[in-house]
Structure 1
Amino acid sequence: MSVIKRPAVAAVATALILLFPFAPVPDFWITQLNYIGLFSLVVLGLVLLTGVGGLTSFGQAAFAGVGAYATGYLTTVMGLSPWLGLAAGLAITLVLALVIGALTLRMSGHYLPLATICWCLALYYLVGNLESLGKYDGLLGLPALTLGDFSFQSERRIYLLIWLAALLAALAVTRLLDSRPGRIMRALNTNRGGGSTMPEAMGASTFRHKLVMFVIAALLAAVSGWLYAHMQRSVNPSPFGIKFGIEYLFMAVLGGIGTVGGAFAGAALVKLAEDQLKVWLPVLFGGSGNYEIIVFGVVLVLVLRFAPDGLWPLASRILSRWLPARAARSVDEAAPPLASREHPQPGAPLLAVRTIRKAFGGLIAVNDISFEIRAGDIVGLIGPNGAGKSTTFNLVSGVLPLTSGEVELLGQRVDGRGSREIARAGLSRTFQHVKLVPEMTVLDNVALGTYLRTRSGTVRAMLRLDKAEEAQARAEALRQLRRIGLAEQAHELAGNLALGPQRLVEIARALASDPSLLLLDEPAAGLRHKEKQALAEVLRQLKAEGLSLLLVEHDMDFVMKLTDRIVVMEFGRHLMEGTPAEVQASPAVRAAYLGAEA
Structure 2
Amino acid sequence: MAALPLIPGVPVFAITLIGNIGLAALVALGLVLLTGVGGMTSFGQAAFCGFGAYTTAVLSTTYGWSPWATLPVALLVSGSAAVVLGLLTVRLSGHFLPLGTLAWGISLYYLFGTLDILGRHDGISGIPPFSIAGHDLIDPRTVHYLIWGLVIGAAILTMHLLDSRVGRAIRALRRGQLAGESFGIDAARMKLIVFVYAALLAGLSGWLYAHVTRTVTQTPFGINAGIEYLFMAVLGGAGQIFGAVVGAGLVTVLKEALQRVLPQVFGHGVQLEAVVFGILLVGLLQVAREGVWPHIAALWPARGRPVPPDAPALARRSASAAPAEKLLALDGAVKKYGGLTAVNAVSFAVGRGEIVALIGPNGAGKSTTFNLITGVTRLTTGAVRFEGMDIAGAPPQEIARLGIARTFQHVKLNPEMSVLENVALGAHLRGHAGVLSSMLRLDRRDEARLLAEARRQIERVGLAEHMLKPAGSLALGQQRVVEIARALALDPVLLLLDEPAAGLRHKEKEALAALLRSLRAQGMSVLLVEHDMGFVMGLTDHIVVLDFGTKIAEGPPAAIKTNPQVLEAYLGGVA
Global fold match (TM > 0.5): yes
Alignment partner, residue 14 of structure 1? none
Pairing of 1:129-168 with structure 2 (within 5 A): 129-168=114-153
Give the alignment partner of residue 123 of structure 1, picking from 87, 108, 114. 108
Give the alignment partner of residue 586 of structure 1, picking from 563, 567, 570. 563
Give the alignment partner of residue 424 of structure 2, picking from 447, 453, 458. 447
Whether the 8 Å contact between 2:478 and 2:504 is mirrored in structure 1 is: no
- Larger displacement relative to structure 2 (36-45 or 411-420): 411-420
Q: Is 1:294 equivalent to 2:287 in the alignment?
A: no
Alignment partner, residue 510 of structure 1? 487
Q: Is 1:367 equivalent to 2:344 in the alignment?
A: yes
Give the alignment partner of residue 381 of structure 2, picking from 401, 404, 412. 404
SS in 2 for 1:71: helix
Whether the 8 Å contact between 2:32 and 2:239 is mirrored in structure 1 is: yes
Alignment partner, residue 219 of structure 2? 238
Instruction: Give the 3 Å change call, closer, same or farther, for CA 299–534 of structure 1 in structure 2.
Output: farther
Query: Structure 1, unaligned stretches of length 5 or more?
Result: 1-17
SS in 1 for 2:113: helix
Instruction: Give the 3 Å change call, closer, same or farther, for CA 76–347 of structure 1 in structure 2.
Output: closer
- Larger displacement relative to structure 2 (209-218 or 567-576): 567-576
Q: After superposition, what is the alpha-carbon deviation per residue over 1:37-82, rounded to whole angstroms, capped at 9, x for unaligned?
A: 1000000000010001111000000000110000001111111121
SS in 2 for 1:582: helix
Compute the displacement of 1:150 (Å).
4.3
Q: After superposition, what is the alpha-carbon deviation per residue over 1:185-234, rounded to whole angstroms, capped at 9, x for unaligned?
A: 10111xxxx11111110111100000000000000000000001100011
Whether the 8 Å contact between 2:4 and 2:141 is mirrored in structure 1 is: no
Pairing of 1:191-590 with structure 2 (within 5 A): 194-317=175-298, 319-320=299-300, 324-333=301-310, 335-343=311-319, 348-590=325-567
Alignment partner, residue 33 of structure 1? 18
Pairing of 1:71-110 with structure 2 (within 5 A): 71-110=56-95
Report the Cα distance in structure 2 between the residues aligned to 1:354 and 1:19, rounded to whole angstroms. Answer: 76
Report the Cα distance in structure 2 between the residues aligned to 1:291 and 1:86, rounded to whole angstroms. Answer: 38
Q: After superposition, what is the alpha-carbon deviation per residue over 1:439-460, rounded to whole angstroms, capped at 9, x for unaligned?
A: 1111111110111111111111
Q: Share of identical aligned residues, percent? A: 54
Instruction: Give the 3 Å change call, closer, same or farther, for CA 137–347 of structure 1 in structure 2.
Output: closer
Whether the 8 Å contact between 1:258 and 1:309 is mirrored in structure 2 is: no
Alignment partner, residue 182 of structure 1? 167
Compute the displacement of 1:290 (Å).
4.3
Give the alignment partner of residue 44 of structure 2, picking from 35, 43, 59. 59
Whether the 8 Å contact between 2:259 and 2:273 is mirrored in structure 1 is: yes
Whether the 8 Å contact between 1:346 and 1:376 is mirrored in structure 2 is: no
Whether the 8 Å contact between 1:346 and 1:546 is mirrored in structure 2 is: no
Instruction: Give the 3 Å change call, closer, same or farther, for CA 493–337 of structure 1 in structure 2.
Output: same
Letter in 1 for 2:410: H
Whether the 8 Å contact between 1:350 and 1:375 is mirrored in structure 2 is: yes
Letter in 2 for 1:174: M
Instruction: Give the 3 Å change call, closer, same or farther, for CA 469–133 of structure 1 in structure 2.
Output: same
Report the Cα distance in structure 2 between the residues aligned to 1:479 and 1:597, rounded to whole angstroms. Answer: 47
Q: After superposition, what is the alpha-carbon deviation per residue over 1:245-278, rounded to whole angstroms, capped at 9, x for unaligned?
A: 0100111111101100110000011111111112
Whether the 8 Å contact between 2:346 and 2:551 is mirrored in structure 1 is: yes
Instruction: Give the 3 Å change call, closer, same or farther, for CA 507–20 of structure 1 in structure 2.
Output: farther
Report the Cα distance in structure 1 between the residues aligned to 2:149 and 2:52, rounded to whole angstroms. Answer: 18
Alignment partner, residue 46 of structure 1? 31
Q: After superposition, what is the alpha-carbon deviation per residue over 1:374-397, rounded to whole angstroms, capped at 9, x for unaligned?
A: 111111000111111111111011
Instruction: Give the 3 Å change call, closer, same or farther, for CA 289–206 of structure 1 in structure 2.
Output: farther
Report the Cα distance in structure 2 between the residues aligned to 1:375 and 1:173, rounded to whole angstroms. Answer: 44
Instruction: Give the 3 Å change call, closer, same or farther, for CA 326–150 of structure 1 in structure 2.
Output: farther
SS in 2 for 1:577: strand
Q: After superposition, what is the alpha-carbon deviation per residue over 1:474-524, rounded to whole angstroms, capped at 9, x for unaligned?
A: 010001111111122111111111111111111111100100000001112
Whether the 8 Å contact between 2:564 and 2:574 is mirrored in structure 1 is: no
Report the Cα distance in structure 1 between the residues aligned to 2:239 and 2:284, rounded to whole angstroms. Answer: 14
Compute the displacement of 1:595 (Å).
1.5
Q: TM-score, normalised by structure 1?
A: 0.92
- Larger displacement relative to structure 2 (286-295 or 233-242): 286-295
Report the Cα distance in structure 1 between the residues aligned to 2:457 and 2:503, rounded to whole angstroms. Answer: 23
Whether the 8 Å contact between 2:495 and 2:527 is mirrored in structure 1 is: yes
Whether the 8 Å contact between 2:121 and 2:218 is mirrored in structure 1 is: yes
SS in 2 for 1:549: strand
